[in-house]
Amino acid sequence: MKILVTGGAGFIGSAVVRRAIADGHAVVNLDALTYAACLDSVASVADHPAYAFEHADIRDRAALDRIFAAHAPDAVLHLAAESHVDRSIDGPGEFIDTNVRGTFTLLEAARAYWERAGRPGAFRFHHVSTDEVYGSLGAEGQFTEATPYDPRSPYAASKAASDHLVRAWGETYGLPVVLTNCSNNYGPFHFPEKLIPVVILRALAGQPIPIYGAGENVRDWLYVEDHAEALLEVLQRGRLGRSYNIGGENEARNIDLVRMLCAILDDRRPEGAPHDRLISFVADRPGHDARYAIDPTRIRTELGWRPSVTLEQGLARTVDWYLANEDWWRPLLARPGVGARLGLAGAT
Ligand code: NAD
Query: 281 vs 130, 214, 315, 319, 344, CA distance in Å?
Result: 26, 6, 22, 22, 18
* pTM assigned to the model: 0.96
Nearest CA to ligand 1 atom 32: 79
pLDDT score recorded for residue 345: 55
ipTM comes to 0.99
Domain ranges in the chain?
Answer: 2-186+221-246, 195-218+251-287+309-342
Q: Per the CATH hierarchy, to which homologous superfamily does domain 2-186+221-246 belong?
A: NAD(P)-binding Rossmann-like Domain (3.40.50.720)
What ranges make up the beta strands (E) of the chain? 2-6, 26-31, 51-55, 75-78, 124-130, 177-182, 185-186, 209-212, 218-220, 222-223, 243-246, 251-253, 279-282
131 is catalytic: yes
What phi, psi does 90 have (nearest 5°)? Answer: -70, -35
Task: Please pick, among 31, 54, 132, 226, the residue that the annotation labels catalytic.
Answer: 132
Q: Which residues pair with 157 in a beta bridge?
A: none
How deeply is 99 buried, as exposed, middle or buried, from its count of CB atoms within 10 A (0-12, 13-18, 19+)?
buried
| Fold match flag (2-186+221-246 vs 195-218+251-287+309-342) | no
Its CATH class, for the domain covering 195-218+251-287+309-342, is: alpha beta
DSSP 286: T
Q: What is the DSSP string of 64-90?
A: HHHHHHHH--SEEEE--S---HHHHHH
Task: State how far the Cα of 129 lies from the Cα of 158, in Å rounded to an integer.
Answer: 10
Ligand 1: which of 5, 19, 28, 34 to mutate, judged by most atoms within 8 Å of the beta carbon?
34
Please give the number of the atom of ligand 1 that sits closest to the Cα of 102: 18
Q: What is the pLDDT, as a whole number, of residue 346? A: 41
pLDDT tens for the chain, 348 residues long, are 999 999 999 999 999 999 999 999 999 999 999 999 999 999 999 999 999 999 999 999 999 999 999 999 999 999 999 999 989 999 999 999 999 999 999 999 999 999 999 999 999 999 999 999 999 999 899 999 999 999 999 999 999 999 999 999 999 999 999 999 999 999 999 999 899 999 999 999 999 999 999 999 999 999 999 999 999 999 999 999 999 999 999 999 999 999 999 999 999 999 999 999 999 999 988 888 899 999 999 999 999 999 999 999 999 999 999 999 999 999 999 998 888 777 775 433
Q: How far apart are CA 260 and CA 318, in angstroms?
A: 12
